[in-house]
Amino acid sequence: MSHDLVIGWDIGGAHVKAARVEDGRVLDVAQWPCPLWQGLSQLDAVLAEAAARWPDYREAGHAVTMTGEMADLFEHREAGVAALAQRLAARLGEHVAFYAGEGLWCGLDSVATHWARIASANWLATAQVVARRLPDAVLVDIGSTTTDLIPLRGGRIAAHGADDAARLRTGELVYQGVVRTPLCALAQRVGFRGETYNVMNEHFATTADVYRLTGELAPMHDQHPAADGASKDAVATYRRLARMIGHDARDASETEWIAFAHQWRDLQLTYLAANLTRVLGRVAPVRGAVLVAAGCGGFLAEALARSCGYESVRFATLVEAHGGAAGWVQVCAPSAAVALLFAETADAALA
C-alpha cells in the first residue's frame, strides 16, 4: 500500500473529523456532526459525505483513531471499539489501520487483541506529533466536549494516565469543552449583578451560549443544537443563560447578559488552570516550555497560557497545511496527527 495519500480519521461520539494528507502535507480537513448515541447510521451518513468529498478515498490508506466507543450506544468500550472498527473497515476498504499508541497500528483482525490501546487514543497521536517538533511543551487541546492537558519533556510524552479513567484521575483529561458542556457542570454558584446565585442543575444552556456571546466561538464550530432546540441568535442565547439563575432574558440588558457570559468564561478558565497546575506539578519544570493550543477552543487554550504565564503556539503552525486546511487542522488535530504519523511510517506493519 502506498502511503502517499492518507486520510486520517478521528471518530468521536459527537463529531467525525478527517484530514487528507498527500506527500506529508495536509491538503484538506473536514468535520461533521455525528451524534453516535443515535446509532451507527449517523456514522454511515458521515462516511457517505466523506466519499462525496473525496471520490478517490478507496485508493487512500486510512489511519483511524477514536473516542466514539464511549457512546452509550455500546454495552462497553470493548464492544464500541469492535463495532466502529468493523463498520469503518467495511465502508473504507481494506487499507485501514487503527492507531493503538506509539509505534502500534492494528488491522481489523487484531483490533480485538488491542482494543484497550485503541480506545480513546486520539490525544496520544496529537501529542506524539507535537513531541517530535517541540520537545518541551504542554499540549492543550480544548474541543467541543473535552480538554486534554498533556505534558511533553525531552521529546517524550510525560502523561501519567494511559486511558480515560486514569487521565480523569490525574487531571490530564477534563470533561469540559467550549460547545456541548452543560453550564451546570462548570460551577455550583455564579456571580450576577454583584450577587452570587446557586446554579440550576438543569440542561438549560451550554458553553456554546457563553462563547457565542463573548464572540470567541466561530459559527462553523457551533454545529450542535442549542440546549432548548431553539435559535442561536443573541436573544435566545440570553434566555438560556438567564434560566441558569432563575431569570428571564427581559430581566437584564444585553450588556449585563454578555457580562454574565464572561463570568462563566472566568469560571471555566479557573477550573482548567487548576487542572493544568495539577498536571504540570507531576513533571519536572522546564524553562522555555511552551503551550501548544489546539481544538475549536484554541482561543481558551491561549487565554489559559496567558493566565499561567506560558508562551503559546498554535498546533497548525507545527505541521505543513495548505490553503484553507490550516484553520481546520487547528480544530481537528488528532485526525491530521494520525494521518501524518501513518504517512511517516512508510513501511508500517500492522499488528
Average pLDDT over residues 200-211: 98
Q: Place 346 in a pLDDT band, splitting at 50, 70 and 90.
A: low
What domains lie within the chain, and their CATH numbers?
Answer: 5-124+320-344 (3.30.420.40), 183-270 (3.30.420.190)
Integer angstrom CA distances of residue 98 from 80, 95, 204, 350: 14, 10, 38, 9
Contact status, residue 111 vs residue 85, Cβ threshold 8 Å? yes
User: Secondary structure of 69-80 in the HEC alphabet?
Assistant: HHCCCCCCHHHH
Average pLDDT over residues 222-233: 96
Q: What is the largest CA-CA distance in the chain?
A: 64
Say what the pTM is: 0.95
| pLDDT number for residue 3 | 63
Q: Place 93 in a pLDDT band, splitting at 50, 70 and 90.
A: confident
| pLDDT number for residue 351 | 65
User: Mean pLDDT of all residues in the chain?
Assistant: 95
Amino acid at 86: Q
Amino acid at 8: G
| pLDDT number for residue 323 | 80
Q: Is the pLDDT of residue 1 over 70?
A: no
Q: Is the pLDDT of residue 69 over 70?
A: yes
Contact status, residue 333 vs residue 141, Cβ threshold 8 Å? yes
| pLDDT number for residue 225 | 95
Q: For 98-156, write each residue's pLDDT tens digit.
A: 999 988 999 999 999 999 999 999 999 999 999 999 999 999 999 999 999 999 999 99
Q: Is the pLDDT of residue 347 over 60?
A: no
The share of the chain scoring above pLDDT 90, in percent, equals 91
Tell me which DSSP letter residue 74 carries: S
Q: Give the containing element (helix H, strand E) for 25.
A: strand 25-33
Q: Is the pLDDT of residue 296 over 70?
A: yes
| pLDDT number for residue 322 | 87
Instruction: Give the span between the Cα atoms of 139 and 156, in whole angstroms.
Output: 12
Q: Check residues 74 and 58 and name the one with the higher pLDDT.
A: 74
Q: Is the pLDDT of residue 263 over 80?
A: yes
Q: Which residues contact 49 (CB under 8 A, 6 or more apart)?
A: 32
| pLDDT number for residue 2 | 46
Average pLDDT over residues 283-296: 93
Instruction: Give the span between the Cα atoms of 66 and 54, in whole angstroms.
Output: 21
Instruction: Give the span between the Cα atoms of 241 and 253, in whole angstroms.
Output: 13
C-alpha cell, 33: 456532526
Instruction: Give the span between the Cα atoms of 232 and 211, in whole angstroms.
Output: 12
Tell me which DSSP letter residue 66 carries: E
